[in-house]
Structure 1
Amino acid sequence: MLLLKLIARVPLPLLHSFGILFGWLVYLAPGRHAQRMRDNLSASGLCRPGTECRRLLRQTIGESGKAVVELLPVWLRPHEGVLRLVRDTRDWEHIDAALAAGRGVILIAPHLGCFEIINLYYAARHPFTAMYKPPRQPMLARLMLMGRQRGQATLVPTDLSGVRALLAALKRHEAIGILPDQVATGGDGVWAPFFGRPAYTPTLVASLQRKTGAAAFFVAAERLSWGRGYRLHVTPVGDTLPDDKTAAALRINQGVEAFVRRFPAQYMWSYNRYKRPGGAPPPDATT
């Protein structure tokens, strides 16, 4: 742990340089990681086959490595030092206005850029609740818990008790965090298009919003070049999400797509977003 804390203090530009190398090492290693990244990128329609897609793939490989190594400074540096890595925010005033109006806030943060820093930035100012599923490796679980549960952040289990905790936080006019682009568990999602392909999408955001009247926002932490830090971007969801689960999931996926189109190389393309979880109906079934 001491060694990891020392590495966490290495300047971010140097860490990101190492991250590019690490990204290539992972990409070239045996396994499904590289093929899934290539398949998801090529199917997204964000680049033309040939030189353009190869260029985007190279950028994505480097950014994926940065995403791993930057976890050390984000989780293990003193909280004040982590907050200094946020160089700028765009449209954060929409969140402040919702809080001033006495509404709960749902932060919808996809797997893009340094999404881990969003919770820490918010929790330094206001109470914040998010779900937490410990990884199987005990050391990584300790690191994750240490890194995420700082400031006014509270982590809750990814089960019914955790959903109740999120609901209670919103009723107290506090904020919660949701990862919108995880594959939902069977029975807890619906199929909705994501870059033109059916993806099993969680329905939790719409359900919580209907029950509490909370304001929902897409938030992304752009990774700035040359290790300069991060810029947070906020986009209001707008009107309350539709009652229809599939229509609501489509709105969520479209909001995630909009951020990915802005920062395509910083999205986690290696994630198996299109898998069918156990208990889920086939994509062509009526949901």
Structure 2
Amino acid sequence: MLWLFRFFSHWPLAVLHALGAGLGWLVWLASARYRAHFRANVAQAGLPFEAARPAIAEAGRFVGELPRLWMRPRSQSCLENVRVQGQAHAEQAFAQGKGVIFFGPHCGSFELGPQALAELYGPLTAIYRPARKAWLARLESFARDRQNLTVVPASLSGIRLMHQALKANQAVAMLTDQVPPEGLGIWAPFFGRPAYTMTLAARLALQSGAALLPVSCERLPRGRGYFLKIWPAVEGLQTREKADMLQAVTRINQAIEAIVLSQPGQYLWGYARYKTPRKEAA
């Protein structure tokens, strides 16, 4: 499978996006369950279907661009076709000396986001859940391990490394809009409906004092690159002694909502965001 990724990595981004758009529509037509989740989530967010309709193709474009993002030569910068906005927010956060927690949703090119942030503010530690298929897990590890970017599994050892990074005034990154295993989250409102939400970002911030910075990485049309935006820090979190986890997680969800509403045509609406968490061994 690695050879196939290498083969497509040499194709123009616009072509890969065109092929991916077709794949996105193919999945839409083939899966009634996917269409149901998509429509229900869009309605829950209070949006008309037409506002989110482009996300059908964008989901496929995400898959189409992976060969270029994953197989990019180590010596080649990923910032060549990335516009960046909001760097003042990051600079202000690092000036506090307690580390920075970058977080965002499954929106736009969320695979490129950590690579770009690592080049701008590395070293950066990003947490992820390895794929269940062995070949894909190996590919993910190979593709994501880059200079100034360390990827760690969602485990106790990975969380320890994130604590160490924040203590050294470094950055960590994570996606906070996925349903964690049972016991690793709480039910918090997301677009007005309770959704089981991870507490990791909130706990790290409350324990370390690190700044919470929302980040989006919008895919520009016709293969013209990407727009990385660093949003203002989440404010109003209480100290650890007076911490209200629900309040902290709710504020994180509100930041995710703002990003999604700013680019509804690029969010993964087909994800079962309101599902019951699965049980998993500690």
TM-score normalized by the length of structure 2: 0.91
Q: Give a deviation string over 1:66-98, Cα, whole Å, max 9, x none.
A: 111111111112245451454211112221232
The total of aligned residue pairs comes to: 274
Aligned to 2:245: 245
Q: Does 1:20 align with 2:15?
A: no
Aligned to 1:187: 183
Aligned to 2:51: 56
RMSD: 1.9
Contact 1:180 1:202 in 2 (8 A): yes
Q: Give a deviation string over 1:193-229, Cα, whole Å, max 9, x none.
A: 1111110111112211122111110000011011111
Please identify, of 33-42 and 20-29, the stretch whose mean Cα deviation from structure 2 is larger.
33-42
Please identify, of 68-77 and 121-130, the stretch whose mean Cα deviation from structure 2 is larger.
121-130
Q: Give a deviation string over 1:148-194, Cα, whole Å, max 9, x none.
A: 11111112221222211111110011111121101122222111111
Amino acid at match of 2:21: I
Aligned to 1:285: none
Aligned to 1:10: 11
Question: 1: distance between equivalents of 2:227 and 2:31?
Answer: 34
TM-score normalized by the length of structure 1: 0.89
Consecutive unaligned residues in structure 2, runs of 5 or more: none
Amino acid at match of 1:239: E
Contact 2:178 2:197 in 1 (8 A): yes
Q: Does 1:89 align with 2:84?
A: yes
Deviation at residue 46 of structure 1 after TM alignment: 1.5
Deviation at residue 60 of structure 1 after TM alignment: 1.4
Aligned to 1:235: 231
Q: Check 1:35–1:80 CA distance in 2 against 1; reply closer, same or farther (3 A cut).
A: farther
Deviation at residue 142 of structure 1 after TM alignment: 1.9
Aligned to 2:267: 267
Aligned to 1:276: 276
Question: 2: distance between equivalents of 1:179 and 1:63?
Answer: 18
Structure 2 residue matching 1:103: 3-state secondary structure: coil
Question: 1: distance between equivalents of 2:131 and 2:279?
Answer: 22
Question: 2: distance between equivalents of 1:85 and 1:18?
Answer: 23
Question: 2: distance between equivalents of 1:117 and 1:231?
Answer: 10
Structure 2 residue matching 1:222: 3-state secondary structure: strand
Structure 2 residue matching 1:176: 3-state secondary structure: strand
Q: Does 1:200 align with 2:209?
A: no
Deviation at residue 63 of structure 1 after TM alignment: 0.8
Q: Counterparts of 1:33-182 in structure 2 under 5 Å? A: 33-47=34-48, 53=49, 55-81=50-76, 83-125=78-120, 126-182=122-178
Contact 1:119 1:177 in 2 (8 A): yes
> Once superposed, which parts of structure 1, at least 4 consecutive aligned residues long, lie more than 6 Å away?
none
Amino acid at match of 1:135: A
